Copies of this chain bind each other. A is one copy, B any other.
Amino acid sequence: MKFPRVLIIGGGFGGLYAARQFRDTLTEVTLVDRSNHHTFQPLLYQVATATLAPSDIAAPLRWLLRKQKNTEVLMAEVERIDPERRVAVLDSGRELPYDYLILAAGARHSYFGHAEWEAIAPGLKSIEDALEIRRRFLSAFEEAEKSTDESERNAYLTFVIIGGGATGVELAGMLPTIARHTLRGEFRNIDTATARVILLEGGPRILPTFAEDLAAHAERDLRELGVDVRTRTMVTSVEPNAVCIGDERIVARTVLWAAGNAASPLGRLLGPTVPLDRAGRVVVQPDLSVPAHPEIFVVGDLAVMTTDGKVVPGVAQGAIQSGRASARNILRVIHGETPKPFRYHNKGELATIGRYKAIADFGHGLHVAGHPAWWFWLFLHILYLAGFRNRLSVLIEWGYAFFRYGLGARLITRRS
């Protein structure tokens, strides 16, 4: 007997949690991702800042799905989708036919039409991105130590982060503590505590998706750490050695990008009947399928989804819940039932500020900030790393970072 073939493109939160719903069902599932691992994205900033090792927050997709004998994992790039013939075409030219498709290809960075900024200001979406940021961040101190020129030294000790969302805030919060505590005492020619961290946000306040009081709390915490937080600040140009804001030129050798997202180009391949928003995201129907193709579902960061008229935020929970919901709807259709509209349940939003503070927005006006929120964050993330075998080693790294101001993964690996 031939079972319905489900193809899942993308092994992030959306794709992985969709795949897991098909365990012990009468389906044939194929999950395709360009990398061999699932990445726990909310902790990427800790890899970028050398606190955790890549393998602490990433695990092979085929290991995570090893017990689902009806599921195969292919490490490949999807080049095209043909919705009429119901096939996806891999980079090798091989065609993967499907009966149902879940597109969970996520998002990359958007440089708002300035593609040339990407090489100067890398963003943070993958393990490779995190390693590139770690390389630049650690190398900056090494170059400063070597430099015999005062202004060059200052340029190496200036770190600009563009974008005041959760990623920007989390990156900005880590750097001052590392510069003042971890690295201090190891350099002979520079005082690492003089490093400047500048966080630039175009909008009126940082953390726009959080409640205003929490964002204000976070901004205060960042300022206490020494971060120069500047809101309503539009970057006009990013150069190899500087960031320009109108007439002002901030000389800095390390610039990180946390400002904008652009959906995966795969959304465009679904054909002219499928509506996209300005960022290239697919505007899905209430049941997460796309118009004219009830067999195609789009989830996670690649989808524009709404609940009670509000757009679902591009966070891990949104991807996890929509991934699961799309799989359940496919199973409903297979069993001759009607798919159900997706409803997002906001379990709260979290962001850390530096090493020991956080803000938590549980909705319904329940706001927590400072150390209690950080302990909650710690508890939650250890819980969520459950599918991974690395919990214990993450705990050790964090314990080390917490009690000794140490960093577990301070390696500069050259590009090969």
Other-chain contact of A185, B66, B74, B185 (Cβ < 8 Å): B66
Q: A390: which B residues are within 8 A, CB to CB?
A: 408
Q: Are A186 and B66 in contact (CB under 8 A)?
A: yes
Q: Find out whether the CB atom of A128 lies under 8 angstroms from the CB atom of B414.
A: yes
Interface residues of A in 343-366 (CB under 8 A from B): none
Indicate with 1 or 0, residue by residue over A139-182, a CB within 8 angstroms of chain B CB atoms: 10010011010000000000000000000000000000000000
Q: Is the CB of B397 within 8 A of A142?
A: no
Contacts of A273 in B (CB 8 A): none
Q: Does A138 contact B (CB under 8 A)?
A: yes
Residues of chain B with a CB closer than 8 A to A94's CB: 146, 148
Binds B, one of A57-65, A310-318, A371-379: A57-65
What's the least CB distance linking A400 to chain B, in Å? 7
Q: A63-B186, A413-B127, A416-B128 are in contact. Are A142 and B58 (CB under 8 A)?
A: no
Within the complex, what minimum Cβ distance (angstroms) separates A186 from chain B? Answer: 4
Chain A interface size, under 10 / 10 to 19 / 20 to 34 / 35 or more: 35 or more
Please tell me if the beta carbons of B75 and A128 are within 8 angstroms of each other in the complex: no
A69 (CB) vs chain B CBs: closest residue: B188
A306 located at the interface, meaning its Cβ lies under 8 Å from any Cβ of chain B in the complex: no
This protein's copies in its complex? 2
Q: Which of A371-416 contact B (CB under 8 A)?
A: 389-390, 392-393, 396-397, 400, 406, 408-416
Q: Does A54 contact B (CB under 8 A)?
A: yes
For A55, A389, A392, A409, the residue with the greatest tally of chain B CB atoms inside 10 Å of its CB is A55
Q: Tell me if A413 and B128 are in contact (CB < 8 A).
A: yes
Give the shortest distance, in Å, between A193 (CB) and chain B (any CB): 15
Complex Cα distance A330/B292, Å?
81
CB of A76 within 8 Å of the partner chain: yes
Interface residue? A112 (CB, 8 A): no
Known contacts A54-B411, A74-B145, A393-B393; 19 additional CB pairs below 8 A are: A35-B412, A35-B414, A36-B138, A36-B142, A37-B411, A54-B409, A55-B408, A60-B411, A63-B410, A66-B185, A71-B188, A74-B142, A75-B145, A75-B146, A75-B412, A76-B146, A393-B396, A393-B408, A415-B416
